[in-house]
Amino acid sequence: MRIGYPCVSRLTGRTTNHETILRAATPEKLRALARQNLADLREILRHNLAHGWLLFRIGSSVIPFASHPVNTLNWQAEFRDELTDIGAFARQHDMRLSFHPGQYTVLNSPDPEIVRRAIEEIAYSAAFLDALGMDTTCKIVIHLGGTYGDKPAALGRFVETATTLRDSLRRRLVIENDERCYAPADALWVSERTGLPVVFDNLHYAANPGPGALDDLLARVFATWKPADGVPKVHFSSQAPGSRPGHHADYAHPDEFRDWLVRWSRFGDFDLMLEAKAKDAALLALSPDPLTLLPAP
């Protein structure tokens, strides 16, 4: 089992998401930001290795505005040395890297232009992982999108688009249950028709469990991961106390964390992304080693 966190290291103050606003996005600025993001990514991976954290989500702004026409950089060529070095380091230490495009990346929109832009964002994320030389266990996590008042039709559009994606994108795509529209059972329905693996998020599940018994859902979710996909990935977070449901807490609640760890481990090996606002500081707070919380094999 590997463990990790997304995008930003609070402990080192480094982030893979240095960005700018569109108006200020000159090639020089975009180049400088990308260089800084890659340098920070390199340092974050070094820092993570020292702590034994082998999972990391790269921020979608690592190459700012990469899927937008304003970015005309040939970033694969310009940063080939940095990308090669980062990829070699990650592979040498058996790290697993990922992307998680945000709320604006919607593959099932009725608007073809929105779908086209979503595919552009996925294509850029895949191109970045390709440039690092990472295998297909390194994934791009997305949600299923909106419902538009007609869930079956919306899910049908997702399946249609996902199955016609070119192979270099589809083999990296994985789908996650969300807190509002699509529960694990919906993601499984899509997975059966697309072959896409399913990421299980405990906090989204709490807000939107949908039909099915939890252990049955987990068994089916874990089974969606084939050998080429690597071991299943799960997202863990605790509810922020006193905040609206679905808000991530600063830290993981240790008892809840242990309970989910034990439950997931019944279905086989897996990797865990801790989505806490304190990021790696939240992982450190679970020290000396969260893996010792697992029952002995």
Partner DNA sequence: GGAAGTCAAGTCTCG
Partner DNA sequence: CGAGACTTGACTTCC
Residue 72 binding DNA, by CB under 7 A: no
Per the CB < 8 A criterion, the answer to whether 142 and 109 are in contact is no
Structure tokens at 173: 């795509």
- Does 248 interact with DNA (rule: CB under 7 A)? yes
Q: Which stretch binds DNA (CB under 7 A): 72-80, 128-136, 241-249, 260-268?
A: 241-249
List the structure tokens of 102.
Answer: 């945000």
Per the CB < 8 A criterion, the answer to whether 251 and 285 are in contact is yes
Number of shown-chain residues binding DNA (CB under 7 A): 40
Please state the closest distance from residue 136 (CB atom) to DNA, in A: 24
Q: Which of 54, 106, 140, 252 binds DNA (CB under 7 A)?
A: 106
Site for DNA in 129-168 (CB under 7 A): 145-149, 154
Nearer to DNA by C-beta: 7 or 95?
A: 7
> If binding is defined by CB under 7 A, does position 265 make contact with DNA?
no
- Residue span binding DNA (CB under 7 A) among the ranges 42-50, 59-67, 207-215, 217-225: 59-67
The residue from 9, 16, 48, 67 that contacts DNA (CB under 7 A) is 67
How would you classify the pairing of strands 198-201 and 96-98?
Answer: unpaired
Question: Residue with structure tokens 């080939």?
Answer: 80
Cβ-Cβ contacts under 8 Å for 5 (sequence gap 6 or more): 53, 55, 56, 57, 273, 274, 275, 276, 279, 280, 282, 283
Between CA 8 and CA 56 the distance in angstroms is: 9
Q: Are strands 173-176 and 198-201 parallel, antiparallel or unpaired?
A: parallel
- Cβ proximity to DNA: between 21 and 50 the closer is 21
Interface residue with DNA among 1, 11, 12, 19 (CB under 7 A) is 19
173-176 and 140-143 strand pairing: parallel
114 contributes a contact to DNA by CB under 7 A = yes
Is 18 or 96 the residue whose CB approaches DNA more closely? 18
Q: How far is CA 45 from the centre of its chain?
A: 16
Q: Is the peptide bond before 288 cis (omega within 30 degrees of 0)?
A: yes
User: How far is residue 117 from each of residues 21, 69, 147, 246, 257, measured CA to CA in Å?
Assistant: 18, 11, 19, 27, 36
Q: Is 50 in the site for DNA (CB under 7 A)?
A: no
Kindly state the tokens that stand for 37: 């993001």
Nearer to DNA, 114 or 281 (CB): 114
Token reading at 182: 């699509």
Q: Tell me whether residue 106 or residue 272 sits nearer to DNA (CB atom).
A: 106
Which residues have C-beta within 8 Å of that of residue 216, sequence separation ≥ 6?
none
The secondary element (H helix, E strand) that includes residue 56 is strand 55-57
Which of 13, 22, 167, 292 is close enough to bind DNA by CB under 7 A?
22
Q: Please identify, among the stretches 78-86, 188-196, 240-248, 289-297, the one whose residues bind DNA according to the rule CB under 7 A.
A: 240-248
CB under 7 A: which stretch of 47-55, 80-88, 112-120, 228-236 binds DNA?
A: 112-120
Return the number of the residue (60 or 238) whose C-beta is nearest DNA: 60
Please identify, among the stretches 62-70, 74-82, 86-94, 211-219, the one whose residues bind DNA according to the rule CB under 7 A: 62-70
Residues near DNA (CB under 7 A) are 15, 17-24, 29, 60-61, 64-65, 67-68, 102-106, 109-111, 113-114, 117, 121, 145-149, 154, 180-181, 244, 247-248, 277
